[in-house]
Structure 1
């Protein structure tokens, strides 16, 4: 609908859609010890259940964004809600690893459909000055969701059980579906029949899965073992084949022309790396429970500062962007995130001092994510043509999901490798696991400094607002 303008009802419905992903994607971290005991499954299966949602979301999200452009972003958002409900129910009733893993896979697909579709709806239905505001609230659900999820997970696991994490997601999804219902459809209007890039989808998914298997299993299987070396070769061949296919396809699943923009590259790369930083919570929360004696609820309380600061500073980042451009708040955000995680990595400190340091570090990291979120999202999807909105947002959110998945995998691999040599070296394992996120944060800062243009204002945003 050409003249339709988005309202707060639609915006709140989309926020709930994004929030459902974080409620089930991250909240489970707080319930890892209880999940292990209740279902009687191995730690490797638990780790798979934790990380597989982000992985499936990451490898599917570009495809989902492209489908949303062609089929309709409202339809795909509603389909994502339905998948969220199905996946959550399966996890709630799981009595072993099978239903749990299947449910988590479906939840990953849910996030893959909801996030690029809702971002494209914002791009389509919130023009001018309404767009940065809408993106801020969307970012509040996306980035702030990770903070809410850890507190929510800790509280729910302590008061009820880990199953309620998924059970409570169902009514949230139903409310979101109701609020989005009735929104005019938004999609690419083309007289030509849109072909599905099946070969592009297959080669991209298989290449990313190969790379993830290398990262997650390299330590256990051996980095020079035949399976790992075979997977590395498979990744290189499949990804090269994917690029070859996309360069010659008239309707590619990934529009490589988007990467001609330095600003877009900066947003995608730094987004990937900062979501790797968010993987620090996968190390921190179990570490403070097992090595520092905190309960699930207490570890959730530890993240309160993170939750408060990210919620209160997201709109501050938006205001700074409107006045100074995207570069400054993105620099501030990446720098503060790295400094905050550095404070969490000081695991050699006595318990009381360490917990204070971690609380402050989480709060600083929250400020960093708050400043970064809206400028980054606006740089990635705020200025692309309508027909490329789904693809652009899909790539951007793929970077988010894969960043989180690889952050968990790499941090976990580093931490596990140390514990395999000395199972009592919990402080060292925690410190080095968190150190992975510190490095990712500083590399993200470098990417922003090098790639984001030095402008006082985003000229394209000005034109749109005019």
Structure 2
């Protein structure tokens, strides 16, 4: 690692947080403005569902390779690349006149997040020490969790009063400010000449498998479930998965995903439960589309319903940390999944009249945030503490990948279920779409119960 007397400053911290916000706040704001975009651009709902999920999908697929390249080529350089990609992606969304350009813009936003997240975390580890590092990481987490918590509210407010394209104009402004603020930061990179080559063949087959699966989920209904397009994509997915496993299991080192990590039961339990609980992000798009399409709420009004989620998740992250220290990881992880599932279940009570439904949704979002806050720190600690000492970086990357991919597939599945059932009525479509997310919580709960030991985290 290059040595330097440089010490991180508030200026660097703010620049990094702006980078985090370009992804977690602005790129994720689409969960609340889908009806406005569909009305403006005339994109079919299934194509819009695909575009919304592509950002998290590509972020998840490429976060490991981007983190490795940032270590090798420079963390500051990759942060800049992330900012530039964010600007390009936002411009494509602003200028989009159809599904193709819109989807490309979303893919580029995902690649931007993949570059920014690992590179900025590495910069904080490099240029901050002790309490200053903890403080800087807290701001990073606030940008991440706070951004994801407020994205529905902010996106709805901007779309209602200024137009949805202004979301991405603000994203560009944040990216430009972030680039100015990190200017002058010394480069930081690993200088290990013995670094092994990255497993690009594994990456390519992995991306093909996940993109084709995502297309089957989001476009299968419009193509026809037995059509040549759907069956061809399903076959491509199956071949890519088989090829991926053949490549990865043959490699003795430098594989894209180190499957030996999953021999550790607690790590596997934490990673799988993390994937499933992040899939509950599908709740946001179904709940927002339902209250706008079925109950004539504006984007801003639907965003206001989620304000309890923002407050609860930020308030509870530190509580989850204290619970981890007091009772271990398993109990707060279990409580987190149960509370989250209860919150989503409340939102599924779509038969209620407007006033009563607004009340249960407000409570549901608070439970949603409380549950995720309980779960976050104990789950991360379980994954990292059970990884071999020489593979903590790889294990962290795979765990973070599970977060993004869980969100991508949760949004894709939930939105596709909602869209497919719309002919039966918005209320039925929303209820089933939300209950799918309750199912994700149950799967996360079962993974913790059967795979995470009682003494985890103690």
- Give the TM-score normalised by the residue count of structure 2: 0.89
Q: What's 1:464 paired with?
A: none
Provide the residue aligned with 2:292 in structure 1.
289
Q: Distance in 1 between matches of 2:110 and 2:61?
A: 9
Stretches of structure 2 lacking an aligned partner (at least 5 in a row): none
CA distance 1:26–1:326, change in 2 (3 Å): same
SS at match of 1:294: coil
Which residue of the other structure, out of 416, 419, 436, is the alignment partner of 2:419?
416
Unaligned runs of 5+ in 1: 459-466
- Summarize the alignment of residues 160-239 of structure 1 with structure 2, pairs less than 5 Å apart: 160-183=162-185, 185-192=187-194, 194-239=196-241
- Equivalent position of 2:444 in the other structure: 444
Equivalent position of 1:392 in the other structure: 395
Name the SS for the 2:33 alignment partner.
helix
Instruction: Tell me which moved more, 320-329 or 174-183.
Output: 174-183
**Shift of residue 281 of structure 1?**
0.8
Instruction: State how far apart, in whole Å, the 2-side matches of 1:45 and 1:190 are.
Output: 44
Q: Which residue, out of 113, 120, 129, partners 1:111?
A: 113
Q: Distance in 2 between matches of 1:70 and 1:252?
A: 17
**What is the CA–CA distance in structure 2 between the aligned matches of 1:131 and 1:264, rounded to whole Å?**
26
Q: Report if aligned partners of 1:65, 1:391 keep a CA contact under 8 Å in 2.
A: no
Structure 1 residues 20-79: Cα deviation after superposition (integer angstroms, max 9, x where no partner): 112233212322222222223333333233222222222222322332333233332221
CA 1:146/1:193 → structure 2, altered by over 3 Å: closer, same or farther?
Answer: closer
284, 298, 302: which is aligned to 1:299? 302
Residues 111 and 376 of structure 1: CA distance in aligned 2, closer, same or farther (over 3 Å): same
CA contact (8 A) 2:264 2:386 kept: no
Aligned residues: 455
CA 1:245 to 1:382, structure 2 compared with 1: closer, same or farther past 3 Å?
same
**Mapped partners of 1:378, 1:63: distance in 2:** 23
2:346 corresponds to 1:343: yes
User: Conserved in 2, the CA contact under 8 Å of 1:196 and 1:251?
Assistant: yes
Structure-2 change in CA distance of 1:214 and 1:99 (3 Å):
closer
Q: 2:375 aligns with which of 372, 376, 387?
A: 372
1:462 aligns with none
Q: Distance in 1 between matches of 2:326 and 2:125?
A: 21
3-state secondary structure, aligned to 1:41: coil
- Report the RMSD for the aligned CA atoms in angstroms: 2.8
| Secondary structure, aligned partner of 1:279 | helix
- Aligned counterparts, 1:7-22, within 5 A: 10-22=12-24
Aligned pair partner of 1:253 in 227, 241, 256: 256
Task: Quickly say closer, same or farther: Cα 1:139–1:328, change in 2 above 3 A.
Answer: farther
SS of the counterpart of 1:90?
A: helix
The question of whether the paired residues in 2 share the 8 Å contact of 1:88 and 1:166 is answered with yes
Give distance in 2, aligned partners of 1:175 and 1:381.
33
Aligned equivalents of 2:384, 2:198: Cα separation in 1? 22
Shift in CA distance, 391/66, structure 1 to aligned 2, threshold 3 Å: farther
Query: In 2 relative to 1, CA 393–178 (structure 1 residues): closer, same or farther, beyond 3 Å?
Result: farther
Tell me which of 97, 101, 111 is aligned to 1:99. 101
Distance 1:134 1:39 in 2: 40
Most deviating of 66-75 and 384-393: 384-393
CA deviation after TM superposition for structure 1 residue 381, in Å: 4.5
Between 148-157 and 22-31, report the one with greater CA deviation. 22-31
User: Per-residue CA shift, 1:245-292, capped at 9, x if unaligned?
Assistant: 223153222233332333332232122111211111110001101111
Range 25-34 or range 378-387, more displaced: 378-387
> Does the 8 Å contact 1:70/1:194 carry over to 2?
no
Cα distance in 1 for partners of 2:10, 2:330 equals 28
Give the CA deviation at 1:401: 1.9
Please give the alpha-carbon distance, in whole angstroms, between the structure 1 residues aligned to 2:342 and 2:134.
27
Distance change (3 Å), C-alpha of 1:129 and 1:84: same
